[in-house]
Amino acid sequence: MVNPSASVPIRPGAALGLLGGGQLGRMFTLAARSLGFRVHALDPGHDCPAGQVADLEFRAAYNDVYAAQALARGVEVVTVEFENIPAETLSAVASLRPMHPGAHVLHTVQHRLREKTFLAEHGFPVTPFREVSTLKDLEAAVAALGQPSVLKTASFGYDGKGQSKLAGPDDLAPAFAALGGQQGVLEAWVPFELECSVICARSATGETCVWPVAENAHRNHILDTTVFPARIPAGVAARAQAMALAIAAALDVVGMLTVEFFLKPGGELLVNELAPRPHNSGHATIDACVTSQFEQQVRAVCGLPLGDTALLRPAAMANLLGDLWPATGEPCWERLLAHRDVKLHLYGKTEARPGRKMGHLTALADTPEAALAKVLAAREALRG
């Protein structure tokens, strides 16, 4: 559990280690540098987004224990950009330096069955689910949960990858084959009104904070837009925030935790997924809140006082995917930037591919609806 008498805070000027070099790592690095920290990042890719702005870049696979140890020896604390880091690497890093979130948190959330079992055993509401290891398991699970339902790989699934909707009996065998021998989880179909998420932070001293609830809309299983604050009753929002903080405490998270929810008709909340890190749905906090999720990650893992999460004005975020890039080259950024009240954030990725997150837009306004209209209009101008 969190130690109330945690060691002396890690102060600006120190070097922080980062496992992961994508866009979340880039924005963490920029926030850390603005606070006066140095960042050493490890990523297997060439010219990765975080590496472009980090002080030192280790280009190595995530299962390269020796490279991860070399990174750890040169920093004061290590954090992660994403949860699917091999256990051997996490253990090697933790033997040398403090690592937040801890390996026990990552072990739980990098496997859907472990995650859902943990949540259910601690009394948090989740979608009904069953473990699937064989086709007979799947048949029994469908008999128990009904159809439609969703079969997911237990590990390494994101943005809709590794998921199959089962609408009828003929879908079972192909969906099971698509698991490719991996363990699966069957989840009951949830008729929800909307999807929302809560991002919270918890420091090594036990201090906590939470941002307003974000309302999320997906397209092709990838987050498309987020609205702050979510357009839901205040009582529902308060319950979602309280539940996120309770999950962070139960997991003993030091750092960030994002809790994704389904909101059912009548106000019932079901936990969908956990992410012990900053989240795509929290990108608007950079421009819209006193303290962004990335600055808060720095503060939390360094044992520094947490910043104010107040929302300055209603806001909206829209993702920019590689689908917007024309075959002939770059989009016409001038058309987008002509929307002078919309903020552009690009991630430094040189190759655009359909479905790949290349950047995002943020706008503030007097209402969530007005902010959403701004980012959608700016994105449409970029599309031309």
Convert the pLDDT of each residue in 153-173 to its tens digit: 998 666 556 789 999 999 999
Residues 141, 143: Cα–Cα separation, whole Å: 5
State both tokens at 53: 């702005």
Q: Looking at residues 313-332, what average pLDDT do you find?
A: 92
Based on its alpha-carbon atoms, the radius of gyration of the chain, rounded to whole angstroms, reads 21
Q: Quick one: how far is CA 131 from the chain centroid?
A: 24
Contact 80, 106 (CB under 8 A): yes
**What CATH number was assigned to the domain covering residues 194-383?**
3.30.470.20
State both tokens at 50: 């975080």
Which amino acid, one-letter code, is at 263?
A: L
**Considering the chain, what percentage of its residues have pLDDT values greater than 70?**
96
Q: Is pLDDT above 70 for 225? A: yes
How do residues 235-285 score in pLDDT, each as one tens digit? 999 999 999 999 999 999 999 999 999 999 999 999 999 999 999 999 999
Burial of 365 (0-12, 13-18, 19+ CB in 10 A): middle
Does this chain's domain 15-109 share its CATH topology with 128-188? Answer: no
**Nearest CA to 86 among 102, 105, 69, 110?**
110
Contact 190, 145 (CB under 8 A): no
- What residue spans define the domains of the chain? 15-109, 128-188, 194-383
Range 15-109: architecture per CATH: 3-Layer(aba) Sandwich (3.40)
DSSP label of 155: B
Residues 164, 196: Cα–Cα separation, whole Å: 22
DSSP label of 61: -
Confidence band for 55, pLDDT divided at 50, 70 and 90 = very high
Residues 307, 254: Cα–Cα separation, whole Å: 15
What local confidence, expressed as pLDDT, does residue 330 receive? 85
**Considering the chain, what percentage of its residues have pLDDT values greater than 90?**
90
Residues 90, 80: Cα–Cα separation, whole Å: 10
How do residues 1-14 score in pLDDT, each as one tens digit? 444 445 689 999 99
| Phi/psi at 222 (5° precision) | -110, 135
**Number of alpha carbons in the 13 Å side-chain half-sphere of residue 320:** 29
What's the chain's length in residues?
384
Q: How far is CA 368 from CA 83, 198, 289, 290, 340, in A?
A: 31, 17, 14, 18, 18
State both tokens at 367: 């209402």
Q: Looking at residues 12-34, what average pLDDT do you find?
A: 98
**Nearest CA to 270 among 238, 243, 233?**
243
Residues 288, 267: Cα–Cα separation, whole Å: 26
Least confident stretch, 85-99, 288-302, 320-334: 320-334
What local confidence, expressed as pLDDT, does residue 5 receive? 40
Contact 379, 324 (CB under 8 A): yes
Q: Quick one: how far is CA 184 from the chain centroid?
A: 21
Contact 149, 186 (CB under 8 A): yes
> What's this model's pTM, rounded to 2 decimal places?
0.95
Q: Quick one: how far is CA 10 from the chain centroid?
A: 24
Q: Is pLDDT above 50 for 354? A: yes
Q: Mean of the per-residue pLDDT values for the chain?
A: 94
Contact 220, 320 (CB under 8 A): no
What local confidence, expressed as pLDDT, does residue 244 receive? 98
One DSSP character per residue, 328-360 reads TSS--HHHHHTSTTEEEEE---S---TT-EEEE
Contact 211, 285 (CB under 8 A): yes
Q: Looking at residues 311-333, what average pLDDT do you find?
A: 93
Q: Looking at residues 214-233, what average pLDDT do you find?
A: 96
For domain 128-188, which CATH number applies: 3.30.1490.20, 3.60.15.10, 1.10.3720.10, 3.40.50.1370? 3.30.1490.20
